[in-house]
Structure 1
């Protein structure tokens, strides 16, 4: 009241000065000013009397460290008054008296509150007025508190007030109150907010507040520490197991941490002190996104798509509405946004709890700890929402319920996490056993299948497994093709019994199969007594060289086999081999009911015809010019040029060579002895001098009468001359 009198005195002195010194209209204004000040003085008198009577006075004793001042607070809705106007009309107002707690629910309004304090000591004392709990989320608080001289000073707080404008820069809402010895002070608060209005007030002695703040900071630090530890812990688990449940839980923890920092004012003090608009909306934004992560976590962890498909659809709807809520926060007022958020949160809690119950009922054991964990935190959030809406009136619930629920959730979720890991381990072990059994079946099937289709061929036509072989699958590659055939097999088969014939074929084929595999080739087909083998390598030169070496070693293996046959009383066998190199098509042919693997192309046909030519030439190994060009020089290969020959099914002739390395030592020595004359004869033959070529080859034949290739070329010369 002293401050009000001081304001009135200054105004009165100004009007008096105007009246004394005179203004153009001073005479007309004099009577109005007199009437005005007469009315004001009457109001002051009534105010003094009214102030003495209105409201219960809280008598302070310095021996008591703190007082709950809520029961001593009077309040009235604001009608647009500033402080001076309010003090003028105060004596005529009818105040509401608090009934022990100042909880108003969700409001969009302003209130004036007053508190009368009397210092019973003979010493001056400084007290701290704390607005605790959810009062930190109030938009604007204007506190009018007289200083030690009784002059009212305005102090600001609230989440819409820039942090630097606070008198006491602390994340809690604090005001200093100085009360001289044995005097009474009247405190006025103007509260403006658009949201939940709870105003628990505590008056502390300075020493008591410092001690209490120490304990509160320790507890809050522990709470934030638990959240951060669980955040990183579950983040590392996600990086290890790649289970999205943990990622969603980490997102939820981030939102809980952000919401806590916002609602407790810590974020405003340390993180965004210059952004009051964000501070005002941040708690709603974190809460809305947190609900979104709750729903995602429920979908993933509880496998709602499998255990409760209908609820899965409901959760998807809630996810869409949650996204809409997040967007709407930008345009809606805090009051309306909070109301929508409360409805969204309540619906999400019910759906998640029902989903967890159904999952547990249907045998998902990991849902038991999950249900308890989320039940604790979600029930606490629900109670907090009811408290914010003034359905429940408890400062303790507003200040600590959700922290307690979240802490319980973290502890219970550690059990759920262990249960989940054990369940995952059991499922993984069971899956590994099934996979191992399936793999064994596939390996067994593959090994059996490889007896009929080469592994290298399967790698081409069945890259995703033999069960996925497709008809018509094609793959192009450059390979060397080898055809081998037993001479006189038809006559031999007529003289052998069926079992003896099979024994012969298996003994022969086993020997040449080993040679082919030792040279990195594989047999594509057994064609009666014939063999078709393929040699492929990333370097085509290596594949061609492997094919030629295999042909040479096959002839050597047959020589060894003939020694064994001679010891058993069987006649020797002879084989002819043709080798060609070029592009072929790997593929599958046939029908859906019966298919076969094969290689197709002109180069396959040429290789088969070269093998046929060995019968005409009576040569052991014949190769094409393409194969020889691919092999190149420097590999110890000795060849004789035979020339162009025409093969069935091909218009262009094929230039061929005889490989002398495949002959017996005696035959090779005889051919090497005549090799210089042979090559000179071939030069004449190439240039059309057939008579000279014939004469030179005849000299070779005189030295080696069993050289069947020379006999063939002499016949060609005679045909050319005719």
Structure 2
């Protein structure tokens, strides 16, 4: 009987413990003085590595699996893939308030679910987080929040299910509705001052850039803009005001903005500290890190898994912040004057960033100082950094004036010399732009320009002839002997044409491929045909050359177009007539001359050579 009584007493105690759901030290009691309660240290927790447990399993097994120790501070588990459950019991002992708000002070948790278990009735469920649409929140507030109705004398069990790809931090408060509204009003006033300062500095810096075109101010403007959006994302304000209907982007915005923000930080620091001159090795390191962050800014939007990306970006942000501080110290050691204010400014901000990132990794506890360390530091940073930019600008202006004064005398003496060199270079450039690189004769660009000019002159006085010639069987020549032999053939042909066409007014051009064009001003049909036959005969008789021990001969087919004096024609028309004459020569057996005037009539009988073998 004694044993039976002992068993019944143990069972009764177990039932009481299950009914209570939490030790007295973890429960929350509300009285008339209760308006704002930090319930972070009143939470028991359980880690679910599989993420498979539901609220009913958790509720049934909580007395066995839930922690019992009172936490010394708010839970901060850092980055984890596990799902965490938290529990506390809230009892309204004597408070007349029956409407309460539960606020999570870490707004970038992906999903936080609240399950309210009452003595009677179904389990109530609410969900919020930065990957949950904003309208699902109980209040339109930048922090995660839930409604809780709790009448005097009533008690409830609260279960929180937290799953996120970032860090799990459970700084949580329980507010009466009126106190929550009042605190929100005060917080928004302070944040308004902070973001107002950032906006003012952004506008000021960008206007200075537009005025003096100093890229340091452009980098700084980009940094302030990116930093402001990052901070508003960390505070939950971006989700509330900028993209409330885009939880997918909101869940990735912090990782993207960390990477892009560090890109601008590195770019600004590299430019401001003149690392290219003061520290070339660090300059290359900064460029490499900027490349890493440029890719890291894209990674969260294309990676199927967000958790590794945010961890990678946060880790490299710590490295980059340390690198910036080190670079500033090096430049300060080397007596680079602008580095003084730079180090003062960035010491404030980067210290805050390091505190926040170490808090994210769970190295430091989550509290008011670490949570808002960046805002505290940046308030001083933007002012000091603006002073640093102004000091650097003044220093650079003085240096520029000194250098300019020293260079004025030397510059005047070198103007004439440099002008002469420039004119010579322009002449050489013009010659190079008009010359064919392979053959050394004029190119197609020069031909088009010269032909148009000569046709204008032809309208007033004198006739003009255009010769187009094409190397016979050049494709077979190229295919059989190779492109080097073909190039050698074209160079020898160009030299031969230059020797045969001797008048100063005549020009030889490479028209394209194996085609050459010769413009003969003041030349009628008879003269043009005579020159064409001399070219054909000269090429056939003289253009023999040895290639790899074998003699090779070359012949050409020629088309001639003649423009009479006073005739107004376009260059394309003349080229078309010459081209038709050329193809007639090729069709009739090659190694021939065919001449036509621009009206399409045969200019005069052309010298004919017996046909060669077909291609």
Alpha-carbon distance in structure 2 between the residues aligned to 1:194 and 1:275: 17
Find the partner of 1:121 among 79, 83, 94. Answer: 94
Sort the Cα spacing of 1:372 and 1:43 in 2 relative to 1 into closer, same or farther, 3 A.
farther
Residue 419 (structure 2) aligns with: 465
Alpha-carbon distance in structure 2 between the residues aligned to 1:70 and 1:297: 40
Alpha-carbon distance in structure 2 between the residues aligned to 1:415 and 1:373: 9
Deviations 1:460-492 (A, max 9, x none): xx7x5357674995899xxxxxxxxxxxxxxxx
Residue 666 (structure 1) aligns with: none
Sort the Cα spacing of 1:359 and 1:84 in 2 relative to 1 into closer, same or farther, 3 A.
same
Residue 682 (structure 1) aligns with: none
Deviations 1:363-422 (A, max 9, x none): 321111011111221121111111001100122244201111222210111220221121
Pairing 1:58–2:12 present: no
Q: Secondary structure at the match of 1:465?
A: helix
Pairing 1:72–2:45 present: no
Q: Any conservation in 2 of the 1:325–1:341 contact (CA below 8 Å)?
A: yes
Alpha-carbon distance in structure 1 between the residues aligned to 2:128 and 2:12: 29
Deviations 1:46-80 (A, max 9, x none): 55542326333222123232111111111101351
Residue 231 (structure 1) aligns with: 202
Q: Secondary structure at the match of 1:137?
A: coil
Sort the Cα spacing of 1:162 and 1:176 in 2 relative to 1 into closer, same or farther, 3 A.
same
Residue 131 (structure 1) aligns with: 104
Q: Any conservation in 2 of the 1:116–1:187 contact (CA below 8 Å)?
A: yes
Alpha-carbon distance in structure 2 between the residues aligned to 1:472 and 1:74: 82
Pairing 1:384–2:356 present: yes
Q: Secondary structure at the match of 1:254?
A: helix
Q: Any conservation in 1 of the 2:100–2:177 contact (CA below 8 Å)?
A: yes
Pairing 1:304–2:275 present: yes
User: How many Å apart are 1:167 and its aligned residue?
Assistant: 2.7
Find the partner of 1:109 among 40, 62, 82. Answer: 82
Q: Secondary structure at the match of 1:342?
A: helix
Q: Any conservation in 1 of the 2:227–2:261 contact (CA below 8 Å)?
A: yes
Deviations 1:424-475 (A, max 9, x none): 2212321332244345x43xx87xxxxxxxxxxx7xxx7x535767499589
Residue 430 (structure 1) aligns with: 402
Deviations 1:479-527 (A, max 9, x none): xxxxxxxxxxxxxxxxxxxxxxxxxxxxxxxxxxxxxxxxxxxxxxxxx
Deviations 1:207-263 (A, max 9, x none): 222221111101111111111111111111111221211111111112111111211
Unaligned stretches of 5+ residues in structure 2 = 1-9, 431-503, 505-615
Instruction: Using structure 2 for the length normalisation, give the TM-score.
Output: 0.63
Pairing 1:412–2:412 present: no
Q: Any conservation in 2 of the 1:148–1:178 contact (CA below 8 Å)?
A: no
Alpha-carbon distance in structure 2 between the residues aligned to 1:48 and 1:275: 46
Matches within 5 A, 1:293-442: 293-329=264-300, 330-331=302-303, 333-439=305-411, 441-442=412-413
Residue 58 (structure 2) aligns with: 86
Residue 709 (structure 1) aligns with: none
CA RMSD in angstroms comes to 2.8
Q: Secondary structure at the match of 1:145?
A: strand
Q: Secondary structure at the match of 1:197?
A: strand
Residue 199 (structure 1) aligns with: 170
Ranked by relative contact order (alpha carbons within 8 Å, sequence separation 6 or more), the top structure is: 2
User: How many Å apart are 1:154 and its aligned residue?
Assistant: 0.8
Deviations 1:529-564 (A, max 9, x none): xxxxxxxxxxxxxxxxxxxxxxxxxxxxxxxxxxxx
Q: Any conservation in 2 of the 1:105–1:388 contact (CA below 8 Å)?
A: yes
Q: Secondary structure at the match of 1:111?
A: strand
Sort the Cα spacing of 1:438 and 1:44 in 2 relative to 1 into closer, same or farther, 3 A.
farther
User: How many Å apart are 1:163 and its aligned residue?
Assistant: 1.4
Alpha-carbon distance in structure 2 between the residues aligned to 1:410 and 1:117: 44
Alpha-carbon distance in structure 1 between the residues aligned to 2:389 and 2:81: 43
Alpha-carbon distance in structure 1 between the residues aligned to 2:358 and 2:396: 38
Alpha-carbon distance in structure 2 between the residues aligned to 1:185 and 1:472: 89
Q: Any conservation in 2 of the 1:44–1:88 contact (CA below 8 Å)?
A: no
Sort the Cα spacing of 1:403 and 1:333 in 2 relative to 1 into closer, same or farther, 3 A.
farther
Deviations 1:269-295 (A, max 9, x none): 121111111000001101101111111
User: How many Å apart are 1:45 and its aligned residue?
Assistant: 10
Sort the Cα spacing of 1:471 and 1:147 in 2 relative to 1 into closer, same or farther, 3 A.
closer
Alpha-carbon distance in structure 1 between the residues aligned to 2:67 and 2:182: 35
Q: Any conservation in 2 of the 1:144–1:152 contact (CA below 8 Å)?
A: yes
Q: Give runs of ≥4 in structure 1 deviating > 4 Å.
A: 42-48, 146-151, 466-476
* Structure with bigger gyration radius: 1
Deviations 1:75-99 (A, max 9, x none): 1013512222322223332425433
Q: Any conservation in 2 of the 1:148–1:179 contact (CA below 8 Å)?
A: no
Q: Any conservation in 1 of the 2:258–2:314 contact (CA below 8 Å)?
A: no
How many residues get paired? 416
Sort the Cα spacing of 1:267 and 1:435 in 2 relative to 1 into closer, same or farther, 3 A.
same
Alpha-carbon distance in structure 2 between the residues aligned to 1:474 and 1:180: 94
Residue 528 (structure 2) aligns with: none
Sort the Cα spacing of 1:65 and 1:54 in 2 relative to 1 into closer, same or farther, 3 A.
closer
Residue 152 (structure 2) aligns with: 181
Residue 211 (structure 2) aligns with: 240
Q: Any conservation in 2 of the 1:109–1:194 contact (CA below 8 Å)?
A: no
Alpha-carbon distance in structure 1 between the residues aligned to 2:318 and 2:115: 39
Q: Secondary structure at the match of 1:355?
A: helix
Q: Any conservation in 2 of the 1:147–1:178 contact (CA below 8 Å)?
A: no
Alpha-carbon distance in structure 1 between the residues aligned to 2:376 and 2:217: 22
